[in-house]
Amino acid sequence: MTKQKLKTHKGAKRRFKVTASGKLMRAKGMKSHFRRRKAPRVKRMFDRMEEVHETQTKKVKRLIPYGS
């Protein structure tokens, strides 16, 4: 009897990216809320991806079993 395949969480697939070294990256929140009143520097900072916190990596990796 073969082992069942694990399903990828589609919302997590869109929100997280796995780097070549295996790190999990996420986009920052509050990107588009009150965008006009934010400084250009702040808006550029929102474009960068940020590493997922170490306390959350295990949970996210469970949602994306074939991402790493």
Segment holding 47, helix H or strand E: helix 40-47
In order of start, what are the domains of the chain with their CATH numbers? 10-63 (4.10.410.60)
26 Cα distance to chain centroid: 3
DSSP state of 4: P
Structure tokens at 19: 């780097």
Q: Please write the tens of the pLDDT for every residue from 38-47.
A: 999 999 999 9
- pLDDT value of residue 26: 95
Query: Low-confidence residues of the chain, pLDDT below 50?
Result: none
- pLDDT value of residue 32: 86
- pLDDT value of residue 3: 87
Return the SS3 of 24. strand
Return the SS3 of 40. helix
Euclidean distance between CA atoms 34 and 7, whole angstroms: 36
pLDDT above 90 coverage of the chain, percent: 76
